[in-house]
Amino acid sequence: MGGHDDKRAQILETRRVFSGKFLEIDLVDLSLPNGARAALEIIRHPGAAAVAPLRPDGTVVLIRQYREAAGGYILEVPAGKLDPGEEPETCARREVIEEVGLAAGTLHPLGPILTTPGFTDERIWLYAATDLTPASQALEEDEVIEILEMPLSEALERIPAGEITDSKTIATLLRVDQELRAGRLRI
């Protein structure tokens, strides 16, 4: 490596311009590691967890959810934002129950991802859930969800086919496949 790798930007001024239900927007004036000055809009997000529930036969439980910002329904893994002070694993367990009515006996961490680091600090922690047992689904009022189950291999084929375009879902499914192939995840 080398160059600017060890340097960080120097924040000169931060001004909060919006505070919503869970998002905030800051205008940040900073001096970049190369000495240039920049004014950035940064969306502050509390973070989230995303989970691929896996059945012993290799079936993955996905949801088809209405997302206005995406222009309609998309295929996703169950996911949700972290509540204040909530650990990602706690959020992951809660979301699997709420969205698909399954409790995860075991959660396998797959690592975090940055969703769009050009303008937000959102980080999503990815998990695989195994040893699933039935639980009471508890959708929130604004969640329009249909549960879909399919072999993991089919879900993976839907990525290059353009049928799964959600980044957290793509990352989670690819990480599940990597971990299964490496023998670090058993279902």
The string of pLDDT tens digits covering residues 83-110 is: 999 999 999 999 999 999 999 999 999 9
Residue from 87, 99, 122, 141 carrying the catalytic annotation: 141
When comparing pLDDT for 1 and 14, which is higher? 14
For residue 3, the model assigns a pLDDT of: 53
Region 162-178: mean pLDDT is 97
Question: Is 143 noted as a catalytic residue in this protein?
Answer: no
The answer to whether 32 and 15 are in contact (CB under 8 A) is no
Structure tokens at 42: 């940064």
Contact 104, 132 (CB under 8 A): yes
**Which part of the chain is CATH 3.90.79.10?**
48-181
Mean pLDDT throughout 67-73? 92
Q: Which CATH superfamily is domain 48-181 in?
A: Nucleoside Triphosphate Pyrophosphohydrolase (3.90.79.10)
pLDDT at res. 1: 46
